[in-house]
Structure 1
Amino acid sequence: MDKAETSGKAADQPRRSWKQDPDRVRANILLVARQVFADKGLSGTRVEEIAARTSTSKRMIYYYFGDKEGLYREVLADAYRQTRKAEDALALGGLAPDEALRRLAEFTFDHHRRSQDFIRLVMIENVHGGRHMPDSADMAGENSSAIRLLEEIYARGLASGLFRPGLSALELHWHISALCYFNVSNRATFSRIFGNELFEEPGQDALRRHIGEMVLKLVLA
């Protein structure tokens, strides 16, 4: 077998894998694109760089996602989907409502801390005025699960007399998200001004605990 034939077979291998497992190829593109977009933003990202980091080609990226903005939109939607899936996997139904709410707040803190590329994507999209966000109808299924989870916890807390009336699941979601988001989004500037103490493990442990306590104090009767 000559070199040209060997080279041709090697080139054909990725193409066969595209046809055999398109879901895997698409997932790989989204994973790599998420990292690049979070690092360089929409305008600073080149599709060629994403293709070079994946097992596919620029042509295939356009085949799956249309163009760079289409890929960016799908990366955003997938990032929110992954966050909601992680929340849905929590087993909170067997916990008392106050403990369930605390657990959810602490989970959100840890999730955002681990998924810093997700927070950077949200920061970037806010710079763009949210214009690349998927339609609200497309996002409702993923994001309403977070609200449904809080509605269930809050309803149980009201029924047991643990929680005070007059709040909403959407408001609770806002408070939890705001507290946990700041820990990642403003780390660079905050630590430059005040030092890194709060971002070392003891500081992060304390912040996680305090966020759970603050949310509970907001809702407890």
Structure 2
Amino acid sequence: MNDPVQKRRAGSAVAKNDKPAGRTNDPERTQANILRVAEAEFGEKGLAGARIDEIAEATHTSKRMIYYYFGSKEGLYLAVLEAAYRRVRDVETELNLHDLDPEEALRRLVAFTFDHHLHHESYIRLVMSENIHRAHYLAQSQRIQELNIPAIAAIRDLYERGVRSGQFRKGLDPVDIHASISALSFFNVSNRHTFGRIFKLDMQSPAYIAQRRDSVVEMVVRFVRKLPA
């Protein structure tokens, strides 16, 4: 069984009389704790370098319990990916973009994306690791595919409202807008060490972050905004 999704499902389907010793009475909390620690482990060391032994020790569980819940190391890695994507998409739905003026909605979305990436370096490292694997594991997750549908729908909605109101120029693709927002926000974290070293910048200083955040928001808005006749 090489498919991590199948392995994870198989692990969750273990008969009750085969439950690992020491299992808690709060499986949801246990799984959430494992996912939290595993995200840091996979983010820091990648899939190949991460160790289930260290995740088990840090969560005060056992390897057997982790395999019981997630089926395999690859199944746990995929579950971590799904949880990371779900977290950012869940918060996006709370931004209430539809209730805002289109340009204000776009500004809020860009600022949120910038802040999320800034404060979730493990998420950035996970995405970088999955790109090294050419999205091999992500491609096996229907959940991740589905999670991104509302994100694009939200951008399409605010963009089309902006076009109708005359604020945004016509002919842009919501996925392309999403790519631009992601790229500008992602780079600030993924390349902070190399870029900062080359140009002698303290990219983690509050002053730099505030300036860069404003720049990213302004760049995206100006890209989308309709030019005066």
Query: TM-score of the superposition, structure 2-length normalised?
Result: 0.86
Q: Does 1:188 pair with 2:193?
A: yes
Q: Which has the larger radius of gyration?
A: 1
How many percent identity over aligned positions?
A: 49
Q: Greater share of helix residues, 1 or 2?
A: 1
Structure 1 residue aligned with 2:85, among 77, 80, 85?
80
Aligned residue in 2 for 1:57: 62
Structure 1 spans left out of the alignment, 5+ residues: 1-13
Aligned residue in 2 for 1:8: none
Whole-angstrom distance in 1 between the partners of 2:168 and 2:182: 20
Whole-angstrom distance in 2 between the partners of 1:198 and 1:61: 37
The two structures, once aligned, show a CA RMSD in angstroms of 1.4
Structure 2 residue aligned with 1:15, among 7, 22, 34?
22
Structure 2 residue aligned with 1:167, among 162, 168, 172?
172
Aligned residue in 2 for 1:105: 110
Aligned residue in 2 for 1:9: none
Q: Does 1:95 pair with 2:104?
A: no
SS at match of 2:38: helix
Whole-angstrom distance in 2 between the partners of 1:196 and 1:219: 29
Q: Does 1:35 pair with 2:69?
A: no
Equivalent residues, number: 206
Aligned residue in 2 for 1:200: 205
8 Å CA contact 2:192–2:203 kept in 1: the answer is no
Instruction: Identify which range, 145-154 or 198-207, moves more after superposition.
Output: 198-207
Whole-angstrom distance in 2 between the partners of 1:196 and 1:203: 8
Structure 1 residue 81, shift from structure 2 partner: 0.6
Q: Tell me the alpha carbon deviations over residues 55-103 of structure 1, each in whole angstroms, 9 at most, x when there is no partner.
A: 3211010011111111111111111111111111112222210111011
Whole-angstrom distance in 2 between the partners of 1:57 and 1:136: 26
Aligned residue in 2 for 1:45: 50
